[in-house]
Chains A and B, each alone.
Chain A
Amino acid sequence: MAASTNSLISMQSRSGMAASRICSLKPVSLSNQGRSFLSFGFRSMPARSLRVSCAAKPETVEKVCEIVKKQLALAEGTPVNGESKFSALGADSLDTVEIVMGLEEAFGISVEEESAQSIATVQDAADLIEKLVEKKD
């Protein structure tokens, strides 16, 4: 997922609540050269960029949404964003565990049962992922 100026704008419109944070970031051009997007991003951001501390980056949220949509086989155009609750999307416990497994594989992390239980929304998952990826780095 390249983050040229164009795609930064499109990210803004998709996750409106994060818009104000994106504005404070300098657009950085990133390309995925076969590496995980997240780890590349952490290492190569110019020093003067503002790094957002608590909540996850929109790209992470987006990726979680993709994995959730695939697992739950949601209809094309079903709105899924950071605020989406897994249960409200129809995920049962087996779906949730499969989603966590998919996230582990996609991001190269390992999620403890206690942490997995506290994930209720897409945003929760994305925040946890970034915390775990950061610990890895």
Chain B
Amino acid sequence: MRSFQRNFSVSPSCPLLPLQLPSPMETHVWFVLPAEFKSVSLLNQYMELLSPCEKENVLTMRGDQLQKRALLARALVRTTIARYQINNHVIDPRSLKFRKNVHGKPELVWKSDDGQCPSPLHFNISHTSSLIACGVTVNSPIGIDVEEKQRKIKNNILAFARRYFSLYEVEHLSMISDSEVQRQEFVKLWTLKEAYVKALGRGFSAAPFKTFTIRVKDATNSGAFEVAVESSDHPESLTNNWQFGLFELASSHYASICMEKDKTSDVAMRVPMRLTNTEKRLLQSCNRILPVAGF
């Protein structure tokens, strides 16, 4: 898994730099921090990249901050995907077409001779008020969820867990005596569960949180962690195909990724996390990305 912080510009004098596609077992994660985008004229430029439908959606958000966030999310998706030039064609971010699958999950479409077909490029986004992330894979459904490390919930954590999480997860949380550590583990668990449901792409009700368990366990004493999902409803069908990664972004967020395992490869294979040096912001963000589990 590779993770990069974006700063992107769209003026004609500074065209989008092309990117190499993720390899089959790889996820690329791109993220931006809304606070760093202050220029109104720049935001207006980004607005021009959006489809009429997306523009309308941005404008229904209540207030400037929420509008900016919605705008940056779409701009991030469009410019990021446009850079993965399939077959070396330069792609205008404006030209990308999206649709929702039958369950409402957004996906990219390619125009083909007989209409539209889903693209081999998969993506998923997640955001908080201070960070927007977009994960990209090739030929694998992907789910991503980000959450501020400091996120506090209004309800009591165990009451919330008893209502929404599985028995095992409630036990795991209730065994943590330090309330701050418990809160952190809760937030991590939430992002893992969300990422799984988003990767499945069938909506919250297709995999109610109570019906599956995420286990973060120390596989061997080497300190490597294993994140696995077990479903009480469909023990055979849903669960063996997915792999997870949990990491920190920009020192402020937990991020979880869930993607389909490559069925042809060894189940025990792990994707090494490597960071490349192509973005000028990258050196800064290198030390902001900390693998927590799943690598």
Contact = CB atoms under 8 A, between A and B. Distances in A.
Interface of A: 70-71, 78-79, 84-85, 88-90, 92-94, 97-98, 101-102, 112-114, 116-117
Contact of A94 (B65, B147, B203): B147
A97 B205 CA distance: 12
B153 interface: yes
A84 B154 CA distance: 21
What size tier do the contact residues of chain B reach?
20 to 34
Nearest to B59: A88
10 contacts: A79-B62, A84-B62, A88-B62, A90-B61, A90-B66, A98-B153, A112-B205, A113-B204, A113-B209, A117-B204
A113 B62 contact: no
A102 B203 CA distance: 22
B204 A90 contact: no
A94 B151 CA distance: 10
A124 to B, nearest CB: 15
B203 A117 contact: yes
A90 B67 CA distance: 10
B160 interface: yes
Contacts of A93: 194, 204
Nearest to B65: A90
Most buried by B among A78, A113, A114: A113
A101 B204 contact: no
B128 A92 contact: yes
Nearest to B198: A93
A113 B208 contact: yes
Contacts, number: 49
Interface in B49-67: 60-63, 65-66
Interface string B190-223: 1000100000000111001100000000000000
B177 interface: no
A117 B206 CA distance: 10
Top 4 A-B residue pairs of the complex, sorted by shortest distance between their CB atoms: A113-B208, A114-B205, A113-B205, A117-B204
B276 interface: no
Contact of A90 (B62, B147, B153, B190): B62
A101 B205 contact: no
A88 B154 contact: no
Contacts of B66: 88-90
Interface of B: 60-63, 65-66, 127-129, 147, 151, 153-155, 160, 163-164, 190, 194, 203-205, 208-209
A10 to B, nearest CB: 23
Nearest to B211: A113
Nearest to B128: A92
A88 B190 contact: no
A117 B205 contact: yes
Contacts of A113: 204-205, 208-209
Contacts of B154: 70-71, 98, 102
Given A79-B62, A94-B153, A97-B164, 9 more contacts: A85-B60, A88-B61, A93-B204, A94-B190, A101-B164, A113-B208, A113-B209, A114-B205, A116-B204
Contacts of A78: 62-63
Given A102-B154, A113-B204, A116-B204, A89 B164 contact: no
B184 to A, nearest CB: 14
B128 A88 contact: no
A72 to B, nearest CB: 10
